[in-house]
Amino acid sequence: MTEAGGGGQVADAVRGNWVDARAPAWLRPYLRLSRADRPVGTWLLLLPCLWSLTLAGATLGWRWEGAWIALGCALGAFLMRGAGCTWNDVTDRDIDARVARTRSRPIPSGQVTVRRALAWLAIQALVSLAILLTFHPTAIGLGVLSLVPVAVYPFAKRFTWWPQAFLGIAFNWGALLAWAAYAGSLSAAPALLYGAGIAWTLFYDTIYAYQDAEDDALIGVRSTARRFGDRPGPWLAGFAMLAAGSMALAVVVALDGLAAVVPAVGVLAFAGHLAVQLRRLDIGDPAACLDLFRSNRDAGLLVLPAFLLAPLV
């Protein structure tokens, strides 16, 4: 199996990424299937886990097991994002071949066969399972249940204008799982963080979808970008307010008095970042949409120091 032209690089990968520059040549197509050359997605999967874990620690007091849960979530985010993306590329291989931005992906470009992609998916999922089994039984159950939205998501664009909502349901599951891993149960705070994450995903993935809106219209693929057309502003503003509002309510529910002040500052910073993205949005510029999408890693990271510092107040 030979690599596609241009060394096999995927069109929207970060230039000079470690996969294309340093990974062994035989492994590169599989790492590209996992989007290891486009790391922002791993961050966007991991951040809701870390929000929840840090808020749980601020609420319940920190224990050493929190360090392993954080590491396990980081490894799991890399592996399960890779497994989910591999599954997505298997199911979408015919669609990807017809879209300019995605036809360079490993399966439509001929770098990897479907059979080998499925084997790669299984390897990633099994290693993820091994990590999951070290967590609290409630978290293990949630981890197994998460496979349902992960499996359904790639097909959502075929039957609904809201595939971004299905992505949000799958991508923010870690907000529930990380809290359960640390606390042993769920409560209102992680449920609110989960809702905040879903609204955030609707925000950033709609921006991402504007890159492909024209191609999607030609081949009949649905998305919120196509649903909102040339007037996404009110929708995106609503998603941003819902994300920040749900996150703020999670803080209020979880923490008492002054302990909630520092996390509230983080939530305000997060909301401000989304507002700046809205002001900069140009849906007619695919490169600018991709840059804004990637900037959501920084938006999510703004929350973490505030949550971590809450116990010091």
The DSSP secondary structure of 23-92, one letter per residue, reads: S-TTTHHHHHHTTTTSTHHHHHHHHHHHHHHHHHHHHH---THHHHHHHHHHHHHHHHHHHHHHHHHHHT
With a cut of 60, say whether residue 2 has pLDDT above it: no
List C-alpha distances in Å: 30 to 40, 78, 89, 151, 161.
17, 13, 11, 19, 30
Q: Rounded to 5 degrees, what are φ and ψ at 79? A: -70, -45
Question: Confidence band (pLDDT; 50, 70, 90) for 7?
Answer: low
Question: Confidence band (pLDDT; 50, 70, 90) for 9?
Answer: confident
Q: What is the pLDDT of residue 15?
A: 82
Q: What is the pTM of this model?
A: 0.93
List CB contacts of 187: < 8 A, sequence separation 6 or more. 179, 253, 254
Average pLDDT, the chain: 94
Q: How far apart are CA 241 and CA 236, in angstroms?
A: 9
With a cut of 60, say whether residue 61 has pLDDT above it: yes
In the chain, the percentage of residues whose pLDDT exceeds 70 is: 97
Q: What is the pLDDT of residue 105?
A: 92
Q: How far apart are CA 82 and CA 104, in angstroms?
A: 17
The DSSP letter of residue 278 is: H
- CA count, 13 A, side-chain hemisphere, 246: 22
With a cut of 60, say whether residue 235 has pLDDT above it: yes
With a cut of 50, say whether residue 3 has pLDDT above it: no
Cβ–Cβ under 8 Å, residues 177 and 183:
no
Query: Where on the phi/psi map is residue 4: left (φ > 0), alpha (ψ -120 to 50), or beta?
Result: beta
Residue type at 85 in one-letter notation: C
With a cut of 90, say whether residue 176 has pLDDT above it: yes
Q: What is the pLDDT of residue 1?
A: 39
Tell the CATH topology of 17-312.
Tetracycline Repressor; domain 2 (1.10.357)
Interval 255-274 mean pLDDT: 94
What is the tens place of the pLDDT at every residue in 113-140?
999 999 999 999 999 999 999 999 999 9
With a cut of 50, say whether residue 39 has pLDDT above it: yes
Task: Please indicate whether residue 39 or residue 100 has the higher confidence score (pLDDT).
Answer: 39
Q: End-to-end distance of the chain based on CA atoms, in angstroms?
A: 58
Q: What is the pLDDT of residue 10?
A: 87
